């Protein structure tokens, strides 16, 4: 029994390692290739994982993309939950900094941009990313509420979610039109997102004397 348990543990460890290698290989390939140009065979070759084993871990390249998307979402959430670089004067400063963080991430990681906001992002992947955006949107709300007294009203989470999707649309258009996120489209993303939120929040909000440690 001990030998059998050890063998199973070794197999699990090997599986975890191979999955990670496959994801890392897909990430590297997406830096220079569109989603539609890659297959699981390509990923397996770069990862130096037998093709048969690759198909054991992932049914097809779409499952690899879904796993990568979950990894990207976690990294974006971590970035957006980090403290602001400086104390904002207006609530719009919070939104602008958070959008800048997202743009900086996508610019530094073109694979992430192709994966989540590129013209070849599969509909199902986009749908699941929308669900993750609901969590990310609450990070926008929490960061804003930590520094300003945001009005409370029914449906506020949905408002932040839609605002984030508006910004996301602008960045997606940049990828379609330019193949990258430009400064002009970043400004458009901020303008559109803030304009939508501005239909719910006044331009000037009371600032908290001390930043709240937890969202209210």
pLDDT at 121: 93
pLDDT at 38: 97
Put residue 85 in one of left, alpha, beta given phi > 0 → left and psi -120 to 50 → alpha.
alpha
Domain range 2-59, CATH architecture: Orthogonal Bundle (1.10)
Q: Count H helices and E strands in the chain, helices first.
A: 9, 0
Please check whether residue 51 is in contact with residue 41, taking contact to mean a CB–CB distance below 8 angstroms.
yes
Burial of 8 (0-12, 13-18, 19+ CB in 10 A): exposed
Q: What is the mean pLDDT of residues 163-175?
A: 97
pLDDT in tens, 179-201: 999 999 999 999 999 999 999 99
pLDDT at 209: 80
pLDDT in tens, 81-139: 999 999 999 999 999 999 999 999 999 999 999 999 999 998 889 998 899 999 999 99
d(CA 179, CA 171): 10
Residue from 176, 200, 172 nearest 95 by CA? 200
- 211 φ, ψ to 5°? -55, 130
pLDDT in tens, 21-55: 999 999 999 999 999 999 999 999 999 999 999 99
pLDDT at 158: 97
Res. 14 pLDDT band, cuts 50 70 90: confident
Please check whether residue 82 is in contact with residue 88, taking contact to mean a CB–CB distance below 8 angstroms.
no
Across the strands, what pairs with 148?
A: 207
pLDDT at 211 over 80: no
pLDDT in tens, 139-157: 999 999 999 999 999 999 9
Across the strands, what pairs with 207?
A: 148
- 214 φ, ψ to 5°? -130, 150
pLDDT at 10 over 90: no
- 119 φ, ψ to 5°? -70, -15
Lowest mean pLDDT among 5-19, 58-72, 142-156: 5-19
Res. 162 pLDDT band, cuts 50 70 90: very high
- 213 φ, ψ to 5°? -80, -25
Residue from 42, 66, 51 nearest 18 by CA? 51
Report domain extents, the chain: 2-59, 63-198
Q: Residues with Cβ < 8 Å from 201, sequence gap 6 or more?
A: 91, 150, 151
C-alpha pair distances (Å), 59 with each of 40, 48, 51, 56, 67: 9, 18, 11, 7, 12
Residue from 73, 74, 39 nearest 59 by CA? 39
């Amino acid at each position: 029994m001990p030998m059998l348990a050890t063998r199973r543990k070794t197999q699990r460890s090997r599986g975890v390692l191979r999955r990670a290698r496959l994801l890392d290989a897909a990430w590297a390939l997406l830096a220079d290739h569109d989603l539609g140009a890659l297959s699981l065979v390509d990923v397996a070759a770069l990862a130096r994982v037998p093709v048969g084993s690759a198909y054991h871990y992932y049914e097809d390249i779409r499952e690899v993309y879904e796993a990568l998307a979950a990894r990207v979402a976690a990294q974006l959430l971590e970035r957006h939950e980090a403290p602001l670089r400086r104390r904002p004067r207006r609530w719009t400063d919070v939104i602008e900094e958070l959008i800048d963080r997202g743009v900086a991430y996508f610019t530094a990681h073109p694979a992430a941009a192709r994966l989540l906001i590129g013209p070849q992002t599969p509909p199902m992947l986009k749908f699941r990313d929308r669900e993750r955006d609901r969590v990310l949107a609450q990070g926008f709300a929490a960061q804003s509420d930590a520094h300003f007294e945001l009005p409370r009203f029914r449906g506020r989470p949905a408002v932040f979610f839609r605002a984030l999707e508006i910004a996301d649309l602008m960045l997606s258009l940049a990828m379609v039109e330019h193949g990258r996120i430009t400064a002009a489209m970043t400004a458009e993303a901020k303008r559109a997102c803030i304009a939508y939120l501005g239909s719910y929040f006044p331009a000037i909000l009371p600032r908290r004397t001390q930043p709240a440690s937890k969202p209210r």
